[in-house]
A and B are shown apart, each in its own frame.
Chain A
Amino acid sequence: MAEVQHEPQRDVGATYGVAATDAAADRAVGAPRSPENEREVGARSQLQLAARRFIRHRLALVGLAIFVLLTAGAFVVPLFWKWTYSAITPDYATSPSASHPFGTDTIGHDLFAQVLTATQTSLKTAFIVTVIATIVGTVVGAVAGYYGKLADAVLMRFTDLVLTVPLLAVLLVLANTLSNANYFWIALVVAAVLWTYLARLVRGTFLSLREHDYIVAARAIGARDRRIIFRHMIPNAAGPIVVNATLTVANAILIESALSFLGLGIQPPEVSLGSLINSGQGAATTEWWLFAFPSAVLVLIILAVNFVGDGLRDALDPRQRRVRA
């Protein structure tokens, strides 16, 4: 595509003040800029700019690579691996070897197959939690923040109520009552709590967005509430929402693991990282691999997701000029 040529932009920085765009923010910092740099900044959309900043964020890229590899591995490798996660092999409690890279447990399960499947379960849970929590949280927060007054009071007090409930205790009770707890139900339970964080965040963002001139301008062109919320405000709140969603992924995996570790999440013969760690912990000193591999994968996923979230936060925050790391 041909580079778009520019109108003179001499008055831009002074006019905009702290307007929330990358270009304005870049200018506001006042670093000396060469003409070609200027053109580079101007000719890109917000998304392209964000993508560029994300790519410059090393750690986030590494995190993304690890996350993609783990995900792909968890879903693809089991299709070709010689054991399924529930298959009982003739080898009991063997340490890692060529035929069982992660060893086997005392029953004879191939731990490599189990860890892969467990990762799958954890990721699926995290995905469902993130989607539900993000949608519910965004809608609740948006309505509360946009309408204010009664809607805000009712929704936010309800959110507070959910937040004051001791998370783990409720999850234990809920998980316990759900007799056939597959990952979907666990995910619903976790999502029922995690949406609150997003609701608060989105409400706060909306409270400040609501006062922006372009939202008043959107009302002035006759746009109705729903359009203003979904087409004008949510896209502008996308940064915090996306970042929080990534963090929700990590949180969901951790909570699910905690539940399963306590024996109240995923039930055997299904496996999740938490339940594997749980069953491996007793043997941590003798059959260390049973504990070490699932834990390592868990740590790796959480770290990777957090790095991605960190990178996204930097990339999507227009005020952030310097890329960390």
Chain B
Amino acid sequence: MAEVLLEVENLTVSFPTDEGLVQAVRGMNFTLEPGRVLGIAGESGSGKSVTSLAIMGLLPGNARIGGSVRFRGRELIGLSDNQMAPIRGGKIAVIFQDPMSSLNPVYTVGWQVAEMISEHQDVSKDEAWKRAVELLELVGIPRAAERAKAYPHEFSGGMQQRVVIATAMANDPDVIIADEPTTALDVTVQAQVLEALKTAQARTNAALVFITHDLGVMAGIADEIMVMYAGKPVEFAATEELFYNPRMPYTVGLLASLPRLDTDSSEPLRPIPGSPPSLIDLPSGCPFRPRCPLSRERCEIEEPPLRRIGRDRHLAACHFAEELEERGAEIFAPIADDAEVISS
């Protein structure tokens, strides 16, 4: 078995608020190996971004963090900012969602990439700049030597995200966490940015954690996918397996609600009814229960653990995962007739 770079074990994050304790992450587990791409999917508020911030130690001071995050065997939870500094950017790099706001408006992009290099490597200013230009070229910025002297606001969103990717790969990190890197971009640019991200990953042989709510984007890049719901992973499987044999009603619902190219276009979409639970007072038992067409008495009493089902390395958190094998998307009602007019 390949070496393990990052091990997240039973990670929990909660924020005390006036209304009560917000349980943003309620037990996250995964391991990362070099060169692998782990996709983390889930809707807004499912704890995806908080997980990535927790790994980097970037959560605000009031966050309560439990569990363990180990990088090459070294515990990261509880390290001070100064102890984390060499790891941040050097070993684990992160790419944020909105490239415009994650670049400092007062510096040129070349300066910002070079800063990343000189923070972690003992190189001269000129060398750092030269490296920065090379990196910018690598991620597909045309005439990089010239463009490095431009400011972030002079770039389009896609070009900015390339700059951020160049920054992330600057120090040959072992892990790159991309937190919704394409969400703020328009669809035509997404594919190019994903390409740049793949280049970055191939060059550095880093493990990539790819966080998104866009399952289409996910399918194109991830080796394995973890689906999160209400702060917990509810299903984990290799990408193909997950798309073809989802075993958790939430995943099934997510997939059924997407239009597909390989089915008849008259096939109605099947939305998931209801909305995600408040993270302050979660329902007892399975958090997906109120929206789940399979829900039964047992779901109310007992929160299903993430358990191995049938196939290799396929985990799902549902008491009735096996039942889904036959029924699949059928469990969700098709979109109502009157709405069909809009969809057709």
A residues adjacent to B (C-beta < 8 A):
4, 6-12, 15-16, 19-24, 42-43, 45-46, 148-149, 212-214, 216-225, 227, 231-232, 235-236, 238
Find out whether the CB atom of A220 lies under 8 angstroms from the CB atom of B94: yes
Instruction: Indicate which residue in B82, B103, B119, B186 contacts A11 across the interface (CB closer than 8 Å).
Output: B186
Minimum C-beta distance from B11 to chain A (A):
18
Find out whether the CB atom of A8 lies under 8 angstroms from the CB atom of B156: yes
B85-93, B293-301, B327-335 - the one binding chain A: B85-93
B120 contacts A by Cβ under 8 Å: yes
Find out whether the CB atom of A218 lies under 8 angstroms from the CB atom of B104: yes
Q: Which residues of B contact A216 (CB under 8 A)?
A: 58, 96, 102
Tell me which of B61, B120, B156 has the highest count of chain A C-beta atoms within 10 A of its own C-beta.
B156
B291 contacts A by Cβ under 8 Å: no
Nearest B residue (CB) for A217: B102
Q: Given contacts A24-B153, A221-B89, A221-B115, are A214 and B81 in contact (CB under 8 A)?
A: no
Find out whether the CB atom of A236 lies under 8 angstroms from the CB atom of B90: no
16 further A-B pairs in the complex, CB-CB below 8 A; given A43-B154, A45-B151, A218-B104: A7-B158, A9-B156, A11-B189, A15-B157, A15-B185, A16-B98, A21-B100, A24-B100, A148-B61, A216-B102, A217-B102, A219-B81, A221-B93, A222-B89, A222-B119, A224-B85
Per the bound structure, the CA–CA distance linking A236 and B201 in Å amounts to 32
Sampled A-B contacts (26; CB under 8 Å): A4-B146, A7-B155, A11-B158, A15-B98, A16-B100, A19-B100, A19-B101, A19-B153, A20-B105, A21-B153, A46-B105, A46-B151, A213-B98, A216-B102, A219-B58, A220-B56, A220-B88, A220-B89, A220-B96, A221-B88, A222-B87, A222-B89, A225-B81, A235-B104, A236-B104, A238-B106
Per the bound structure, the CA–CA distance linking A192 and B318 in Å amounts to 67
B130 contacts A by Cβ under 8 Å: no
Per the bound structure, the CA–CA distance linking A23 and B108 in Å amounts to 14
Find out whether the CB atom of B81 lies under 8 angstroms from the CB atom of A224: yes
Minimum C-beta distance from B55 to chain A (A):
11
Q: Which residues of B contact A212 (CB under 8 A)?
A: 101
B207 contacts A by Cβ under 8 Å: no
Tell me which of A43, A213, A238 has the highest count of chain B C-beta atoms within 10 A of its own C-beta.
A213
Q: Given contacts A4-B147, A217-B103, A224-B85, are A23 and B153 in contact (CB under 8 A)?
A: yes
Instruction: Indicate which residue in A10, A214, A227 contacts B105 across the interface (CB closer than 8 Å).
Output: A214
Q: Which residues of A contact B253 (CB under 8 A)?
A: none
Minimum C-beta distance from B73 to chain A (A):
20
Per the bound structure, the CA–CA distance linking A15 and B154 in Å amounts to 13
B280 contacts A by Cβ under 8 Å: no
B191 contacts A by Cβ under 8 Å: no
Per the bound structure, the CA–CA distance linking A198 and B304 in Å amounts to 56
List the 9 closest A-B pairs by CB distance, nearest first: A221-B89, A23-B153, A213-B101, A222-B89, A21-B153, A222-B88, A217-B102, A15-B157, A16-B100
Find out whether the CB atom of A221 lies under 8 angstroms from the CB atom of B167: yes
B159 contacts A by Cβ under 8 Å: yes
Q: Which residues of B contact A149 (CB under 8 A)?
A: 61
Q: Which residues of B contact A217 (CB under 8 A)?
A: 94, 96, 102-104, 164
Per the bound structure, the CA–CA distance linking A213 and B58 in Å amounts to 11
Nearest A residue (CB) for B162: A7
Minimum C-beta distance from A15 to chain B (A):
4
Find out whether the CB atom of A15 lies under 8 angstroms from the CB atom of B100: yes
Q: Which residues of A contact B63 (CB under 8 A)?
A: none
